[in-house]
Amino acid sequence: MAMGSLGELAYRYVTGRPLDGRDGYPYLRPGAGRWSGWKRQAYRLGTPALAALTVVEPHQGIGVAATAGAVAAWSGRRQMTRRRFRRAYIDPTLTAIRTPLGLETGVTLHVDPGLGNLTPRLATPLSPAELAARQWYGQRIEPVLRWLPDRTQRCAWAVQRWVRPATTKLDVFRRPGTEQIGPHIELTAQTPYLTQEQRALVSSIINSKIPVSDLVESWNQVGAQVKARWTVRKRPPGDVGYDHVIARIDSLAEWEFYIGEAAGGRPYTISLKDDSPHIAVSAGSGAGKSVLAQLIAVQVLRRGGRVIILDRKGSHRWALGVDGVDYCTKPHQMHAALIREAEDADVRNDLALHEADDWDPGERTLVICEELNATIGQLTNYWAEVREKSDPKKSPAVTALAELLFMGRAAKKNVLAIAQMLTARAIGGPEARENFGVRCLARYTVNAWKMLVPEAAMPKSSRTLGRWQVVIGGVATEVQVAYLNTMQARALAKPADGPDSALSSDVPEDRDMLTLRDASDAGVIPWGYEAAKKRLQRNVGAVPAPRGKKGNADLYTRGDLVTWAESGKTSVG
């Protein structure tokens, strides 16, 4: 395009517009060019002014020139870093996206350098001299430069804490701002629609070309443009325990159960009234299936309910001797318990027909079926051994379990089925499995996910112990399930309206529980294991009381053992 008159050229020079007559370059943003309008304007006006000042006032001009040079060097270094970042990530990704979409100039891509370790990947190794210089600068210069900004920031934080009582009361008048999405990748395509295949291709390219793992993808195709955004998945806290549980459970309704913490530390609960009366738990070995079942069971017991545990391998030692728990470890015990509960559920359902919708049939019963794949086989084998010729071929206990699954909500009979692979055959058919509206998965395989929750998108399986995906209504929520040790579980299992039911945070942790041999090996008690056993048998000194079991050995609290050791009695050889 022709330049135009001298006046127009002068106008473009002073205002920071391109001198070649092109338009479309914004003043505050770079736009199609490298520089925004205000930067171009500052460069054009500042350079002659600095040159004139250097001629008229050399001393001032040299100082200003030195400052301007330092700023230019800093800005140039930033520009070089951004250019390297763009060459490494943005330009190749745009080329890979534009070509298959047929949009050579209609796609823009924004990638935050703060994502993952994208910027550190571009760093070149430092030479020994550079490393020594940076170390000297960090020890000698940087503390001096940061002293005043650090003190200023601390003063600002102190003022914020001081005025917080007043400012929090003003929150009701504050309008909500825009969502803080943090570092993200954002793509804009100048087309009104992209097909599912095209979106999948773009997603594949983004995940392949930009090395940041576990991103959450969202698409917006409303309007003349298609916009896509990839954000870092928010994670639940890494550790949830007894303190979290005691802060939550007594404020919930009778049919609501606290599971753990979701992303951002948000408490996560399930409802056996609204979500589903039955819970399916599928996970690999050691993923914490029994921990999840224990957490729900102690809440049932605390509210005055009953818990029936079908457990052949003894995974719930915390429940031994606990009031309200029927612990079945033998096939004949499981057989009788299931038939009894199905008959009771049938009676409750008959009564519910003649009562109001909010009629309470009585205490809640939770049936925990550990390792259901093996349990069904044991019940079937047991029935094959004891049945008479006139008895039905199918195990009545297996039939009773299926009946519980179909009529549990009104009768307040809930089943928690646990299995490594919860197949339809294990639960009594695909119809019975459909009664599990709450499905919890951890350390799952692709096959297990597609079998149990094919309607939900499968996130990457986490290796964090206690990290579960809870799927309700086709929506998967990542939850860190709360962990309770044996003493904590037994403390929570006491009915809330009974004696000694008040919750406190001083229940011993696992590290405070020791067997007699462990205490001797760790030096908590000054005697050998055999000598300590004799002292215990003869009640020498302030003998500690057992607080739990570890296999066949009694567990004692560290504090009780220390008191015993300090009781000053003579050792028995």
pLDDT of 465-523, one tens digit each? 889 999 998 888 999 999 988 888 988 988 877 666 666 666 655 556 778 887 876 66
In eight-state DSSP terms, residue 546 is P
Tokens of 417: 């089925």
User: Among 264, 261, 315, which Cα is nearest to 293's?
Assistant: 315
Domain 251-447+481-492 has CATH 3.40.250.10: no
Angle made by CA atoms 144, 150, 155, in degrees to the nearest 5: 140
* Ordered per-residue pLDDT tens for the chain, 573 residues: 444 577 777 887 777 777 776 665 667 666 555 667 777 777 777 777 767 766 676 666 566 666 666 666 667 777 777 888 888 898 999 999 988 888 777 888 999 888 877 887 787 787 889 888 888 888 888 888 888 888 888 898 889 889 888 888 887 787 766 556 778 899 999 889 999 999 999 999 998 898 887 788 899 999 999 999 998 878 888 888 888 999 898 889 999 999 999 988 899 999 988 888 899 998 887 788 889 999 999 999 999 999 999 988 888 888 888 889 999 989 999 999 999 999 999 888 888 888 887 788 889 999 999 888 788 888 989 999 998 888 888 899 988 988 888 876 778 899 999 987 777 666 666 677 778 889 999 988 888 888 888 888 888 888 788 899 999 988 889 999 999 888 889 889 888 776 666 666 666 555 567 788 878 766 678 788 888 888 888 888 888 888 777 767 888 887 788 788 877 544 433
Phi, psi of 386 (to 5 degrees): -105, -10
The whole-model pTM stands at 0.63
pLDDT of 36-46, one tens digit each? 777 777 777 77
In eight-state DSSP terms, residue 89 is I
Q: Enumerate residues 6+ apart whose C-beta is below 8 A from 444.
A: 282, 283, 284, 461, 469
Number of H helices, E strands in the chain: 21, 17
- Domain range annotation of the chain: 251-447+481-492, 510-565
